[in-house]
Amino acid sequence: MSQSNSTALERLPEGAIQLCQGRIHAFNRAAGAQFPELAVGDQPPAFLAPALGDQTAGVFLHQGVEYVFSRTPQDCCQLLLVHPSSQSALTDRQLDGFVRQMRTFMQEMLLPVQLLSDDLSRAGGDPSGRDAAFQKTFCRMHRLLSNLDYLRSLGSSQAFFQPITMDLVGLCGRLSDEAASLLEGAGVTLTFRCNSSSLLIPGDPDLLSKLILTLLSNAAKAAPQGSVFLTLAQRRDRAILSVTDSGQDFAQEDLDTLFPSPLPDDRIPDPQEGAGMGLAIARHIVALHKGTMLLERRESGALLSVVSLPTGPLDTRLQVQSPRIEDTGGLSPVLVELSDVLPQSMFRTEDYD
């Protein structure tokens, strides 16, 4: 594969795969992140069969995610362009994960509630610890239900998408300030780095907030008692948002939860496994904004997430964004989104009132 050919593929925002004589000749980083099975010189994996048939455009499924493809002839080769469908539905695995986690959370809530009742019935009891356990599980349940509701409603996803001309630097700064104070309690230091005072993009602030917090949560899981860096920069007509951890060891089984693969039918999932919704929603949010997202394990061991978003076109007219219904019960959305990585002590009532 020539250097010029590789550079040309990397310039494409979506996944790009070049096929020559029935074998994979080259692919860009976006395609490699979406399909780790790809290898130069190998025959195309079986899941690409629908994209290599008679139709030059259509959809195919891979690990429960729907992808849109288009195929273009190039001399003796073919160029396959692929990106996740914005209409991907809730998968059976995600639904199974939701049910499993909901049962676990309900069990976790039952004991603190019972003990809290006992404390309140006895003079001098200190219910704060039981209250914190209850609050943390409530936040995790709320996040799980919100994710399920989002995925369930993808068939009418445009109702969720309300783009305006917004300042991405301001959004990242506000989220990082609030998240940093919370993650400090978990032993994680969060640093926001940006050389610009403002960066306007067309985007939905609520959805981009969820995207950023999901990436921060994943990085914090990869760097317990470490550091997380949120970096924002502009490259020509793209806003490049990256999140990386301090490079501490990240177990392969944890990496597998970030890059879901089909579970054997006879395998009983571990109760602590996620439902596989967070990054599916993150990819969908990026797709709605016509961007791309890459997840990569660096040689240093760090886990890197990179999101590229277009900075235009901008609508300079006054825009009205209908407010979404507040459904967090007064809790901070940052607290809810980071609830999987924060210690129980951070959920004492006096800590977030």
User: 305: domain CATH number?
Assistant: 3.30.565.10
Phi, psi for 309 (deg, rounded to 5): -125, 140
**Does position 177 have pLDDT exceeding 90, yes or no?**
yes
**Which carries the bigger pLDDT value, residue 204 or residue 258?**
204
Nearest to 90 by CA among 106, 66, 58: 66
Domain boundary pick from 84, 103, 127? 84
Predicted pLDDT at 92: 61
Mean pLDDT (whole number) for 215-219:
90
Tell me what pLDDT residue 201 has.
93
Q: What is the pLDDT of residue 299?
A: 63
Q: What pLDDT score was predicted for residue 66? A: 76
Q: What is the mean pLDDT of the chain?
A: 76
124 & 193 share domain? no
**What pLDDT is attached to residue 307?**
92
190, β-bridge pairs:
228
Between 153-157, 219-223, 248-252, the lowest mean confidence (pLDDT) is in 248-252
Assess whether pLDDT exceeds 90 at residue 172: yes
d(CA 291, CA 23) in angstroms, rounded, equals 28
Domain shared by 247 and 102, yes or no: no
Beta bridge partners, 234, equal 239
Indicate whether 197 belongs to any domain.
Answer: yes
Residue 351 within any structural domain of the chain: no
User: In angstroms, rounded to a whole number, what is the distance separating the alpha carbons of residues 114 and 181?
Assistant: 31
Kindly state the average pLDDT of the residues 126-150.
Answer: 75
In this predicted structure, what is the pLDDT of residue 252?
Answer: 44
Residue 353 lies in a domain: no
Domain that holds residue 332: 164-346
Q: What is the pLDDT of residues 228-254, one digit of tens each?
A: 999 999 988 999 999 987 644 444 444
Asked whether 108 and 133 are in contact (CB, 8 A), the reply is: yes
- Of 55, 84, 113, at which residue does a domain stop? 84
Q: How far apart, in whole angstroms, are the C-alpha atoms of residue 275 and residue 265?
A: 16
Final residue belonging to a domain, choices 101, 136, 154: 154
> What are the E-state strand segments in 10-154?
15-20, 23-27, 57-62, 65-74, 77-84
Tell me, yes or no, whether 352 lies in a domain.
no
Q: What is the spatial distance between Cα 13 and Cα 290, in angstroms, rounded to a whole number? A: 9
| 144/131: higher pLDDT | 144
Instruction: Indicate the pTM of the whole model.
Output: 0.63
Query: Is residue 194 located within the same domain as residue 256?
Result: yes
Split at pLDDT 50, 70, 90, the class of 161 is confident
| Cα 248 to the center of its chain, rounded Å | 20
Q: How many structural domains does the chain have?
A: 3
Tell me what percent of the residues of the chain surpass a pLDDT of 70.
67
pLDDT higher for 285 or 248? 285
| More confident call, 229 vs 99 | 229
